Amino acid sequence: MVKSHRFSRLITPYLFLIPAIVIFLGLMVVPMARALLLSLVKWDGIQEPAFVGLSNYRNLLDDRVFLLATMNTLYFIVIMVIFQSTVPLLVAVLLNSGIKGGTFFRTVYFMPVIISLAITGMLWSMIYEPNFGVINETLRSIGLGGLARFWLADKYTLIPSLAVVSIWQSLGFYMVIYFAGLQNIPQELIEAAKIDGAGPATRLLKITIPLLRPVITVVVVLNTINSIKVFDHIWVMTAGGPNNQSTTFATYLYQVAFGAMGSSNSQLGYASAIGVVIFVATFVLSVILVKYGQIEETEY
Amino acid sequence: MMELTRTQVVASDRIDRRRKVTRLTGSVAKYAAAVLLLLITIFPLAWMILTSVKNQREVFTTLLPKTLDFSNYQRVWLVMNFPRQFMNSVFVTAMTVLIVVSVATLTGYAFGRLEFRGRDTLFFIFIGMMMIPPQVILIPMFIFLRDLNLLNSLPGLSLSYLGGSLPFAIFLMRAFFKTLPSELADSARIDGCSEWRVFWSVYLPLARPGIAAITIFQFMGTWNEFMFATTFISRPELKTIQPALYTAVGRYATDWTALSSGLIMSIFPIIVVYILLQSQFIKGLTAGAVKG
């Protein structure tokens, strides 16, 4: 009786893990290994693949569109990490300072998060529309017609306009995360600071932010990963265009693999190489950010 | 107690009043900022709702509809074959949620309440999977499904979601199971329960909040997924809502009333779920993120 019990205790955990391990191996590890192998071939998906070694990667370095995608992806990372890490924090602090109806505000701010990024993109496409869209129409009706732009075509407004969509959609998400983090800050510290005469700005900078460091790290890492993999709304709004001006790692990969709107020149090997680059970039950045976030633990 | 001179009383009153005014302006400013943000958040959604009930002629001219025209919804419903796409989404979402919840509960329990060699390393690897962008496995998954003849199949699509969805769900379930007391297991084991009984009869019934949280998450994630859904299913009658809408955009490019109706119909289910369960949503989300 006792022996079978001990055996049961030893074996059972692994039994519990079997479904996850099967899924994990079959639907994650194997595809990833396959992606690596695929990046070493030239293949259109139909004929026989041809082994080409590292030439896909070499071609990437010469690929002007890939270079553009890299620049755009970096641009996105910078904008999104800055705005999607700071603004939500300020909003969370605002709500935490005891405004009446805080829960109502929180509920509303969170609403865009539950809408798919694809639908959000389609919605904002209409809003940005140069001739009849709400933004330009409003500008014209208040006499600021000169500020109206081809938001999704003009070189300078293209990426920021796309970024705004992401910021609008995800604000509530990161705000809620920060809000929870704020709840964990002991009230006594804030009170002590107030007594010492620290104003709200000082309290924010010297106490709140340092104490929120782990949460901020999580948010920044999430933002970075999301900026690299962002696809849905860009694809829906511009498909990487016009003329590849808004292409990113994710949209370029898709374009190369499946063609924008069914073109026939599939390059699965080349696209897989881009996929490997995406993976490496994400991994490296995440590791750097997590390490950076762990230095200097605050003590209080 | 010291007698205050008249000047001192007046001065101290002035300071009090100034403090009150500063506090009041502070409150007003905060409130104004919150309301402004509220408007910015709401405006696109409100515009979409208004546009969907406008007469086609009114779209570009007036902000508020003069007449309520619901025919747009009817049009889109029929032309887009909305019910069909809706059911497709329901099927894929239900299947994915079912599998993810079952597996994540088992796995989360193992990581959270059982002890075994390699537990923490294995968990760490699982969590690492959370950081992998779906693009990386897009092409291999495409080929995999094609080889198994699972392209253009709803179960196939559901399968493709599992790898990416499990890590986070396992993370949440583990965190949740860790909050439950271990005495329950001890007494159950003393009573002679097998490990499976401990899980099934003791801890699982207590797992409802955690299960609710990951169900909501998975529902949201699967319902809103676009990239895999567009890639792995090309037959129109099998498409889920998101890619179906995207196809519709081409047709309705300038017919904003129709497009808005389509978008609203697609969002509707998830907004309903959100309004009914908002506290769960937010609680589950923060539990996971902050414990990380």
* Tens-place pLDDT, residues A53-78: 888 888 888 899 999 999 999 999 99
Which of A56, A116, A230 is most worth mutating to test chain B (most B CB atoms within 10 A of its CB)? A116
Q: Is the residue at A149 inside a domain?
A: no
Question: Which residues from A are below 8 Å from B48, CB to CB?
Answer: 123
Question: Which residues from A are below 8 Å from B33, CB to CB?
Answer: 94
* Tens-place pLDDT, residues A141-175: 888 877 888 888 888 889 999 999 999 999 999 99
Residue A297 has pLDDT above 50, yes or no: no
| B263·A119 Cβ contact <8 A | yes
| A254·B122 Cβ contact <8 A | no
- pLDDT category, A132, cuts 50, 70, 90? confident
* Tens-place pLDDT, residues B176-206: 898 888 888 888 888 888 888 888 888 888 8
pLDDT at B286: 65
| B133·A258 Cβ contact <8 A | no
Instruction: Using CA coordinates, name the residue in chain B closest to A284.
Output: B131
Give chain A's domain count: 2
| A30·B122 Cβ contact <8 A | no
Shortest CB distance from B107 goes to which of A17, A236, A257?
A: A17
Q: Mind telling me how many Å the CA of A218 is from chain B's nearest CA?
A: 8
| A19·B106 Cβ contact <8 A | yes
Q: Is the residue at A129 inside a domain?
A: no
pLDDT at A233: 92
pLDDT at B21: 77
Report how far residue A64's alpha carbon sits from residue A116's, in angstroms, rounded to the nearest whole number: 31
Asked if A27 and A44 sit in the same domain, the reply is no
Instruction: Using CA coordinates, name the residue in chain A closest to B36.
Output: A105
Residue keyed to tokens 């086609």: B56
Domain that holds residue A1: 1-31
As averages over each run of 10 residues, the pLDDT of chain B (292 residues) reads: 75 79 78 90 90 73 70 80 90 96 94 86 88 91 92 93 93 89 85 84 87 89 94 91 86 78 88 81 64 48
Residue B235: both structure tokens together:
């037959």
Mean pLDDT of A210-215: 86
Q: Is the residue at A162 inside a domain?
A: no
Torsion of CA B197, B201, B206, B208, to 10 degrees: 100
Asked if A68 and A9 sit in the same domain, the reply is no
Mean pLDDT of A214-232: 90
Instruction: Using CA coordinates, name the residue in chain B closest to A249.
Output: B135
Instruction: Using CA coordinates, name the residue in chain B closest to A270.
Output: B139
Residue B102 at interface with chain A, using a CB cutoff of 8 Å: yes
Instruction: Using CA coordinates, name the residue in chain A closest to B218.
Output: A114
Mean pLDDT of A41-46: 83
pLDDT at B62: 64
* Neighbouring C-beta atoms of residue B114, cutoff 10 Å: 19
Question: Which residues from B are below 8 Å from A278, CB to CB?
Answer: 133, 135-136
pLDDT at A194: 79
Q: Is the residue at A158 inside a domain?
A: no
Taking all residues of chain A, what is their mean pLDDT, rounded to a whole number?
86
Angle at A47 between CA A271 and CA A40, to 5 degrees: 40
Q: Mind telling me how many Å the CA of A16 is from chain B's nearest CA?
A: 6
Q: Mind telling me how many Å the CA of B237 is from chain A's nearest CA?
A: 18
Question: Which residues from A are below 8 Å from B134, CB to CB?
Answer: 229
Tell me the three-class secondary structure of B236-264, residue by residue: HHHCCHHHHHHHHHHHCCCCHHHHHHHHH
Q: Is the residue at A300 inside a domain?
A: no
Query: CB of A84 within 8 A of CB of A222?
Result: no
Q: How many CB pairs lie under 8 A apart between chains A and B?
A: 238
Which of B139, B174, B193, B282 is most worth mutating to test chain A (most A CB atoms within 10 A of its CB)? B139
| B116·A45 Cβ contact <8 A | no
Question: Which residues from A are below 8 Å from B45, CB to CB?
Answer: 111-112, 123
Q: Is B182 helix (H, G, I), strand (E, B) or coil?
A: coil
Strands (E), chain A: 41-42, 50-51
DSSP states along A214-232: HHHHHHHHHHHHHHHH--H
Mean pLDDT of A30-56: 87
Asked if A52 and A98 sit in the same domain, the reply is yes
Asked if A180 and A256 sit in the same domain, the reply is yes
Predicted TM-score of the model (pTM): 0.86
Query: CB of A267 within 8 A of CB of A42?
Result: yes
| A38·B45 Cβ contact <8 A | no
Asked if A12 and A88 sit in the same domain, the reply is no
When comparing pLDDT for A276 and A299, which is higher?
A: A276
Residue B198: DSSP 8-state = I
Q: Is the residue at A164 inside a domain?
A: no
Question: Which residues from A are below 8 Å from B263, CB to CB?
Answer: 119, 122-123
- pLDDT category, A300, cuts 50, 70, 90? very low
Where residue A93 sits, what CATH number does that domain have? 1.10.3720.10
Asked if A23 and A64 sit in the same domain, the reply is no
pLDDT at A259: 74
Residue B62 at interface with chain A, using a CB cutoff of 8 Å: no
Q: Is the residue at A259 inside a domain?
A: yes
Asked if A92 and A51 sit in the same domain, the reply is yes
pLDDT at A260: 55
Among B128, B281, B138, B113, CA closest to B207: B113
Instruction: Using CA coordinates, name the residue in chain B closest to A138.
Output: B63
Q: Is the residue at A110 inside a domain?
A: no
Considering chain A, what percentage of its residues have pLDDT values greater than 90?
41
* Tens-place pLDDT, residues A262-290: 456 678 889 999 999 999 999 999 888 88
When comparing pLDDT for A108 and A44, which is higher?
A: A108
